[in-house]
Structure 1
Amino acid sequence: MQIRNVGTPITAAQRHGYRETPDSSFYAAYQAAFAAQNPISASSESDTASQSLTDILGSTHRELSALRGVSTESQALYAEVLNKAYSSGGMDNARQFLGSLSAKELDAVRQNHCLADRIDTASISEEGAENLLLPEGYAVDLNADGIEEVGAARTMSFPPSDAPAAVKEAWFQATADMAPGQMMTYQLMMHDAIYGIRIDGQSQGAPYAADETDSYRQVVDNFLAALETTKGMLADGQYERDKAFFSQLQALLAA
């Protein structure tokens, strides 16, 4: 996946925690890639089948599928479902399109998004349906609440896809060598600070504008100020670790 307007090379761990909103060219590009690679050797784990699926679904989807143990056969069927959705206008009413799938096709969708329960097309939102029909690495947030519904699941990613390019550059530079678990912790902290902590599905506090650089500068300043206030109450090493990270992010955002 190529993240738009970001020049910094992105690591796999960074891509796994980020979701790009598909632009107007995404669906045509997908169909072209599918046509170029079809038919896929779905029953084979060969290098050819692997490269075909990577070209169609993207590196992020393939990497996460490998981590989750999703078979090549299931990924190939999912790729076919997406091509059918994009070529038939299925994204205009994603819930209706999902309802038209066979049980086998719908289960492939479930497996490729690592959902535990079967998909109930009658109960999910249109956002949840659309995100089921996007490969990992892409998502829409139709109500702009910072939460991406995937089927019945509610997920978050950071930075937001509508964050300014300078914010994305700063974030990816600051987290370039960071362990995935630590990066996820900072992602959650920043996400909650921008959108507000959610209690019973509702954001608490006044959220910041996700598409303005000053929002992120203010949030980082707030974290640094809070560190000084709570310094004596933090676990060993946390002050130094958080101070180093947020100071670096602050400097990058100011550049």
Structure 2
Amino acid sequence: MFFCKDLSRGAGRYTYSDRDYPLRTGNRLKLDNPYIRYKSTGCTCALFKPALFDSDSQKGMTLKIDAASSLSNLLTPNKDKQNQDQAVQNIFSAMLAQVGRQGYVSAETTDAEPPTVESLQRSWDSWFNSQRTGRYSQVEKPEELQQSFGNIIVRAHNEGGYVDPQSFLQKLSPEELAVVQKVQGLAEPIDVDALTEEGALNLLLPGAAQIDLNRDGFTRNGEAYGLRFPNSNTPAEVVAAWNEATQGMDFGQIATAQIQMMLPMLTANIEIDENGQFVRQHQPGDPEFKNPFANADYSYSTAVKNQLEALEAKKNELPADKYESQKAFWSNLQQALQKHGAA
């Protein structure tokens, strides 16, 4: 998941998989599909708020980003983490279905009893514990934080918080809102009045279970915009293929692949003039904003095929090892999509 607060303020948090990192501003990411070229050699991640594009006649279109520090200790995503994320997505999606909301479309359904407050809390506890060496490794009194947010989940379930999240958050004390802020890794105190329904709802969900409620391609977490791939609307067969193809990849490789998978949404909202110069970027909420992934005819298989074709076109411009690793990944993903019957 790529997550940021308003980067124009120059501070925030970066969340990837199971670790949080403080941010520093100043680096930029060049959008040169299908390759991600970092202007700072120390930058191995990309985070952004919509409308942070600018145009530079010498450097081309760029996306302002923050560089995460201390990336050397990143854990490689593995099957255990995928299983933990899937488990918490399954049970919280089932709970959301009970109140008439769509959770993860890739969530597995069972014939078991509907989720109870006890099963929700057990799922939260299990997922939190799986993040203790990563995302929550720097948290003071983690057991207290875990219990406090678990209590908020119980209250939200019993008091209609997942039906009307804004009203529920209004009832929380400043201390309880501080718990939510810490669990979600937010840089600033929560302003409930400024939240959208999606942003409020996701504050009451474990990070891995947060959803793109309005299907605009972004996952709101409080006031923050987040990009993640796969997200709650990614088809189950695509998720299965992605998990299979990314096994054993390191942080930088997965981060680059995630950005490349999301580029169609970014480029679809950039308007250029007849000379190819940047005019504007349409933001979520604008009438012109497009989320190509929401189109019924969007094809992940075609997108991967296009990545492979573009890679071949630039073969001679890339170091041989980079070309081979990129080709291996996209070929593996193409085969996995075919194997799982993804469009």
Preserved CA contact (<8 Å) 1:19 1:157: no
Counterpart Cα distance in 1 of 2:200 and 2:171: 13
Residue 211 of structure 1 deviates from its aligned partner by: 6.8
Which stretch of the first structure deviates more once superposed, 14-23 or 132-141? 14-23
TM-score, L = length of structure 2: 0.58
Counterpart Cα distance in 1 of 2:290 and 2:119: 44
Q: Which runs of 5+ in 2 are unaligned?
A: 1-77, 99-113, 270-280
> Match for 1:245: what amino acid?
F
* 1:62 matched residue in structure 2: 129
* 2:306 matched residue in structure 1: 222
Distance verdict in 2 for CA 1:25–1:19, change over 3 Å: closer
Number of equivalenced pairs:
226
Preserved CA contact (<8 Å) 2:89 2:209: yes
Structure 2 counterparts to residues 21-100 of structure 1, below 5 A: 22-25=92-95, 29-33=115-119, 55-67=122-134, 68=136, 69-70=138-139, 71-100=142-171
Q: Secondary structure at the match of 1:118?
A: coil
Q: Which runs of 5+ in 1 are unaligned?
A: 1-8, 35-52
Residue 230 of structure 1 deviates from its aligned partner by: 1.4
Residue 112 of structure 1 deviates from its aligned partner by: 0.5
Deviations 1:107-141 (A, max 9, x none): 00000011111101011111000000011220121
Residue 158 of structure 1 deviates from its aligned partner by: 1.6
Counterpart Cα distance in 2 of 1:32 and 1:206: 37
Match status 1:152 vs 2:236: no
TM-score, L = length of structure 1: 0.77
* 2:186 matched residue in structure 1: 115
Q: What do you get for the CA RMSD once the two structures are aligned?
A: 3.0
> Match for 1:215: what amino acid?
S
Deviations 1:7-42 (A, max 9, x none): xx93316866999484344675250336xxxxxxxx
Preserved CA contact (<8 Å) 1:160 1:210: no
Preserved CA contact (<8 Å) 2:229 2:262: yes
Deviations 1:138-196 (A, max 9, x none): 01212101110000111122223333322222111111111133112212211233x34
* 1:12 matched residue in structure 2: 81
Match status 1:201 vs 2:271: no
Preserved CA contact (<8 Å) 1:127 1:142: yes
Counterpart Cα distance in 2 of 1:12 and 1:207: 29
* 2:328 matched residue in structure 1: 244
Preserved CA contact (<8 Å) 2:166 2:197: yes
Q: Identify the structure with the greater strand proportion.
A: 2
Identical-residue share of aligned pairs (%): 31
Counterpart Cα distance in 2 of 1:20 and 1:237: 36
Distance verdict in 2 for CA 1:145–1:207, change over 3 Å: same
Q: Identify the structure with the greater helix proportion.
A: 1
Match status 1:232 vs 2:316: yes
Preserved CA contact (<8 Å) 1:14 1:172: no
Distance verdict in 2 for CA 1:64–1:250, change over 3 Å: same
> Match for 1:93: what amino acid?
D
